[in-house]
């Protein structure tokens, strides 16, 4: 008898996801079939569903922050991996042959394929993934609290390292990624400044609870010039604001895959050796570096859990800012 599995499907961008039941897919030679325990809801999912990212596979199961257990393995995957708890992130496959892959920059591979974008993701009871891109997870820990580490944590940590070692760090947009990276920065002895939507006093309190020395609106200046800033919110107008708040020689990192247009700004904001850069995707090495660090620091992911069938509600809550921390779907 063919096994069936539930999933939330994107048929057409800008329309709600549809609940379906479908036959389980058999894993290919280098793939594994996993049972999903939790999948976090990322702002990139919103960009995809809202039609702001080009060329998704359709129909598509979104979701790329997956905590799961391997149930079956392809012919070239060691059977010893069956039963392993894994995390499946945004990067789902790379060619392994191009100059980027050869230089440990697989995040820039021009043929890369991404989970929940060109590969069906984790808004489902089961998923199929390339075994080489399944990161080992510890047996302990709540699945819902581990899920946000697989994108908000990983890409946030990549952006954190790109920002450099300066003492005063500004975080623009205090959501799933920032609330994790704030804890890393505080543990490193850095001073965190959190910038939120104007008037969002609840999120500002939340940031201070996690160790931020100051929290205010994104249109405010921090009490002291920043050594670096990371922009997690997909708002291009924050680029000149962050440059204005950053001291000479400082760095501003744009951490999202999508951002609204950056407005023109005077050269004076970039002058005096300020740097503006972006972070794209992640590498498997980021997972090897970050996940043990998260365990060692006992990072606390604040989550709001939803049943799988409530995926559209979770997306709506994230869109309008009703989620503190991260939204997570539990099949």
At residue 41, the pLDDT reads 98
Please give the Cα distance from 1 to 13 (Å, whole number). Answer: 34
Q: Could you tell me the two tokens for 250?
A: 């400082």
- Looking at the fold, whether 34 and 49 belong to one and the same domain comes out as yes
Q: Which domain CATH number covers 25?
A: 3.90.180.10
- Looking at the fold, whether 219 and 259 belong to one and the same domain comes out as yes
Bridge partners (DSSP) listed for residue 66: 39, 88
At residue 116, the pLDDT reads 98
Inform me whether the pLDDT recorded for 49 exceeds 90. Answer: yes
At residue 52, the pLDDT reads 95
Helix (H, G, I), strand (E, B) or coil at 92: strand
Q: What average pLDDT does the segment 8-21 reach?
A: 97
- Looking at the fold, whether 238 and 110 belong to one and the same domain comes out as no
Q: Could you tell me the two tokens for 5?
A: 């599995």
Q: How many domains does the chain have?
A: 2
Q: What average pLDDT does the segment 284-310 reach?
A: 96
In the chain, the percentage of residues whose pLDDT exceeds 90 is 96
- Looking at the fold, whether 8 and 131 belong to one and the same domain comes out as yes
- Looking at the fold, whether 135 and 18 belong to one and the same domain comes out as yes
Cis peptide preceding 59, ω within 30 of 0: yes
Residue 236 CB contacts under 8 Å (≥ 6 apart), including other chains: 259, 260, 261, 262, 263
Inform me whether the pLDDT recorded for 219 exceeds 90. Answer: yes
Q: What average pLDDT does the segment 110-115 reach?
A: 98
The parent domain of residue 241 ranges over 153-278
- Looking at the fold, whether 160 and 183 belong to one and the same domain comes out as yes
- Looking at the fold, whether 191 and 228 belong to one and the same domain comes out as yes
Inform me whether the pLDDT recorded for 3 exceeds 90. Answer: no
- Looking at the fold, whether 190 and 203 belong to one and the same domain comes out as yes
> At 292, phi and psi to the nearest 5?
-65, -35
- Looking at the fold, whether 75 and 122 belong to one and the same domain comes out as yes
Local confidence band at 1 (pLDDT 50, 70, 90 cut-offs): low
Local confidence band at 165 (pLDDT 50, 70, 90 cut-offs): very high
Please give the Cα distance from 134 to 66 (Å, whole number). Answer: 9
**103 within 8 A of 130, measured Cβ to Cβ:** no
- Looking at the fold, whether 224 and 144 belong to one and the same domain comes out as no
> At 52, phi and psi to the nearest 5?
-95, -10
Q: What average pLDDT does the segment 193-219 reach?
A: 96
- Looking at the fold, whether 17 and 99 belong to one and the same domain comes out as yes
- The predicted-structure confidence for 120-162, as pLDDT tens digits, reads as follows 999 999 999 999 999 999 888 999 999 999 999 999 999 999 9
- Looking at the fold, whether 179 and 134 belong to one and the same domain comes out as no
**Exposure string for 179-212, b = 16+ CB within 10 A, e = fewer:** bbbbbbbbeeebbbbbbbeeebeebbebbeebeb
Q: Which domain CATH number covers 165?
A: 3.40.50.720
Alpha-helical (H) ranges within 92-194 are: 99-102, 143-146, 152-162, 176-187
Q: What average pLDDT does the segment 253-263 reach?
A: 95
Distances (CA, A) of 242 to 170, 220, 318: 8, 10, 23
Please give the Cα distance from 10 to 17 (Å, whole number). Answer: 5
Inform me whether the pLDDT recorded for 112 exceeds 90. Answer: yes
Inform me whether the pLDDT recorded for 2 exceeds 90. Answer: no
Please give the Cα distance from 158 to 107 (Å, whole number). Answer: 11
């Amino acid at each position: 008898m063919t096994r069936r599995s539930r999933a939330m499907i994107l048929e057409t961008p800008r329309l709600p996801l549809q609940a379906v039941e479908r036959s389980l897919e058999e894993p290919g030679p280098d793939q594994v079939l996993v049972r999903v325990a939790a999948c976090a809801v990322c702002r990139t999912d919103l960009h995809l569903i809202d039609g702001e990212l080009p060329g998704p596979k359709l129909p598509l199961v979104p979701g790329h922050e997956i905590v799961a257990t391997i149930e079956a393995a392809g012919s070239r995957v060691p059977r010893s991996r069956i039963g392993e708890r894994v995390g499946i992130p945004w990067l789902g496959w790379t060619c392994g042959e191009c100059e980027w892959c050869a230089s440990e920059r697989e995040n820039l591979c021009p043929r890369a394929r991404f989970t929940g974008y060109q590969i069906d993701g984790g808004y489902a009871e089961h998923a199929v993934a390339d075994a080489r891109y399944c990161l080992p997870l510890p047996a302990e820990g709540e699945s819902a609290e581990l899920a946000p580490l697989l994108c908000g944590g990983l890409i946030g940590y990549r952006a954190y390292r790109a920002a450099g070692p300066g003492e005063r760090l500004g975080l623009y947009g205090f959501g799933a990624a920032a609330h994790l990276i704030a804890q890393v920065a505080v543990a490193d002895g850095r001073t965190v400044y959190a910038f939120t939507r104007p008037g969002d006093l609840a999120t500002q309190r939340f940031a201070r609870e996690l160790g931020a020395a100051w929290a205010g609106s994104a249109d405010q200046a921090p009490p002291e010039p920043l050594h670096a800033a990371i922009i997690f919110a997909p708002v291009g107008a924050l680029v000149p604001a962050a440059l204005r708040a950053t001291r000479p020689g400082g760095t501003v990192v744009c951490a999202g895959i999508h951002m609204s247009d950056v407005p023109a700004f005077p050269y004076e904001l970039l002058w005096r050796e300020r740097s503006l850069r972006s972070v794209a995707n992640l590498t498997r090495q980021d997972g090897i570096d970050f996940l043990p660090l998260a365990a060692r620091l006992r990072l606390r992911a604040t989550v709001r859990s939803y049943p799988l069938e409530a995926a559209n509600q979770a997306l709506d809550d994230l869109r309008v800012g009703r989620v503190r921390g991260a939204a997570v779907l539990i099949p």
